Amino acid sequence: MVSRISGSRISRLPSRFPVGTRYVIEGRGGHVHLRYLEFPDGRQIELPAGRALRDAPRGPRRKAAGRNQ
């Protein structure tokens, strides 16, 4: 028996997951139809199929060339 948890109920995912957790992406014809996390105990958390939102950009930011010179 697999239990699914809707992504709309989850406001924030934890920074760490148990060993064996899988990130699953299902799609057809180059389009993502379903994304979810599957935990080792069989629970699944559905994630939105759109672009992921980030709190902050990763890595150093580049300065635009040719400005303020």
At 48-67, the pLDDT tens digits run 766 555 555 556 666 666 55
d(Cα 49, Cα 65) in Å, to the nearest integer? 35
Please state the pTM of the whole predicted model.
0.54
Any alpha helices (H) in 1-69, and if so which ranges? Answer: none
- pLDDT attached to residue 15: 87
Q: What is the pLDDT of residues 30-42, one digit of tens each?
A: 888 889 999 999 9
Distance of CA 4 to the CA centre of its chain: 16
Instruction: Enumerate the domain spans of the chain.
Output: 4-47
Kindly provide the residue ranges of all beta strands, DSSP E only, lying in the chain, ordered along the sequence.
4-5, 22-28, 31-38, 44-47
Structure tokens at 35: 């994304």
Average pLDDT of the chain?
Answer: 75
The C-alpha atoms of residue 37 and residue 9 are separated, in whole angstroms, by 14
